[in-house]
Amino acid sequence: MKIIEKIQPSNLLPQARRVFELAGRKVRTLDQRWDANGGAPVLTVDGRYTSRKWTQWTQGFQFGCTLLVFDGTDEREMLELGRTRTVERMAGQVTHMGVHDHGFNNLSTYGHLRRLMLEGRMKHHEWELRFYEMAIKASGAVQAARWTSLNDGAGINGEGTGGGGYIYSFNGPHSLFIDTMRTLRILGLAHRLGHVLMGESDRPISLLGRAIAHALTSVRYLVSEGDVGDAYDVRGRVAHEAIFNINDGSFRCLSTQQGYSPFSTWTRGLSWALLGLAEELEFMAGLPAGEVQQACGLTKTQGVARLEAAALVTAEHYIEDATAADGLCYWDTGAPNLHKLGDWRSVPADPFNDYEPVDASAAAIAAQGLIRLGRHLGQHKGSRYFQAGLTTARTLMAEPYLATQDKHEGLLLHCVYHRPRGWDHVPRGRQIPCGEATMWGDYHLLELANMIQRIGEDGVYPTFF
């Protein structure tokens, strides 16, 4: 990436406001058209949102987009629409026992509503605030209950007694996904609200302990420091999935569902790691040291150091290895035809090429992670990452990535869902997917625009907690 050193959030305010202007019209149109009986919108085909049955992990993004438009514009209609849809349709996600996506669905809805009320952006009703908080508490506990314990010598687990563990993916107890690093924050907020997971024999289980344990397990097995030892190891490489033998808790191998290979970096997985780690660092910075040690058995300094080291190597891998000159990334660093693009890192990404698709959704997630990491590290140590995030945002909030035509229901173009399964639409006359949007891409572009607008206008810096 060719980082623009002098760009500031204030320079991007016109672009951010344009994002919200376009999004307002698009979320209204989609809400009026969408039949909720068909599932949640996932990705567009010829500019029109469709569902895709796998898991219902995008419903919260749809209504979260509406709340973020309100956040960026003060349009009360958007607030009321987002609040109504959350109450009507999100209850099932709060108690969904079969997924690892609670932070995606429930912090994007109940979490935003709570934050907006606490900020004074909407009228304060104590019972309504408690309703949102109860949803977050329940969601955090349900998410934490999807737990596989390990005895891997990591020195930490959810009960604070040694060993390790993780929140397992929808693939089952043997499977750890990197995606969960971003959804993990639901445990942190539920803990902050005073909640615990109650186990057998009324045993209280710390949500903070499980959140930290999961993060450290993810870092240990999915994020490479360059010393993994396999023939394809690259410092900062992020694997999508780790497989464990649940009979004895031992690690068996790396795997992937949506990437090209276990030994390359699926770039959206890299972005989930980068943003998730940055948010966990922001959250842990405000926790009392004794609270962290009691929850997980590590000192706060030890825990922060491990997560910060992982955040730094993922950020460097994104900047140096995974992106084109403009901050955009292709869908996987090992994509089999990427070499046909020549020296693709030295030029802007080409979403209309004939060989491998760009994934703008990965870039939108990563840009926010880079900005958050930069702020966490401070001006001296973090400036490189802050500026890299703004550089990427500048590209995303303009054509050809910003969908400026009202006839296209998406907001962020050139996004990819599941390349190996062929779920992404290839337009007529093209060789690879391009020109389409995804629900999480739209949502994360709005989160990114909201953050930039708030920083640029000296507003309240938004965090999940």
Q: What is the pLDDT of residue 152?
A: 63
Q: What's the helix, strand, coil split of the chain in %, to 5?
A: 50, 10, 40
Tell me the average pLDDT across 13-42. Answer: 96
pLDDT in tens, 103-125: 999 999 999 999 999 999 999 99
* pLDDT surpasses 70 at 462: yes
- Model confidence at 159, pLDDT cuts 50, 70, 90, reads very low
* pLDDT surpasses 80 at 161: no
Tokens of 10: 């204030």
Alpha-carbon span 64 to 382, nearest angstrom: 29
Q: What is the pLDDT of residue 432?
A: 98
- Model confidence at 403, pLDDT cuts 50, 70, 90, reads very high
Tell me the average pLDDT across 137-145. Answer: 98
Measured from the Cβ of residue 98, the count of other Cβ atoms closer than 10 Å reads 10
End-to-end CA distance of the chain: 31
Sorted by where each begins, the domain ranges of the chain are 9-456
Tell me the average pLDDT across 191-213. Answer: 97
- Model confidence at 158, pLDDT cuts 50, 70, 90, reads very low
- Model confidence at 383, pLDDT cuts 50, 70, 90, reads very high
Q: What is the pLDDT of residue 162?
A: 45
Tell me the average pLDDT across 275-290. Answer: 97
Q: What is the pLDDT of residue 459?
A: 87
Rg (CA), the chain: 21
What is the pTM assigned to this prediction? 0.96
Alpha-carbon span 290 to 298, nearest angstrom: 10
pLDDT in tens, 32-74: 999 999 899 999 999 999 998 878 899 999 999 999 999 999 9
Give domain 9-456's CATH architecture: Alpha/alpha barrel (1.50)
pLDDT in tens, 309-331: 999 999 999 999 999 999 999 99
Tokens of 34: 């969408």
* pLDDT surpasses 70 at 154: no
Say what percent of the chain tops pLDDT 70: 97
- Rounded to 5 degrees, φ, ψ at 33 are -90, -30
- Rounded to 5 degrees, φ, ψ at 36 are -65, -20
Contact 425, 49 (CB under 8 A): no
Q: What is the pLDDT of residue 157?
A: 38
> How far, in Å, are 31, 94, 419 from residue 171 at the CA level?
31, 19, 18
* pLDDT surpasses 50 at 16: yes
Peptide bond into 173 cis (omega under 30): no
DSSP tag of 346: G
> How far, in Å, are 79, 170, 243, 268 from residue 174 at the CA level?
40, 10, 6, 22
Q: What is the pLDDT of residue 241?
A: 98
* pLDDT surpasses 80 at 299: yes
Tell me the average pLDDT across 439-451. Answer: 98
Which is nearest to 180 in space by CA: 245, 248, 51, 275?
275
Secondary structure class of 248 (helix, strand, coil): coil
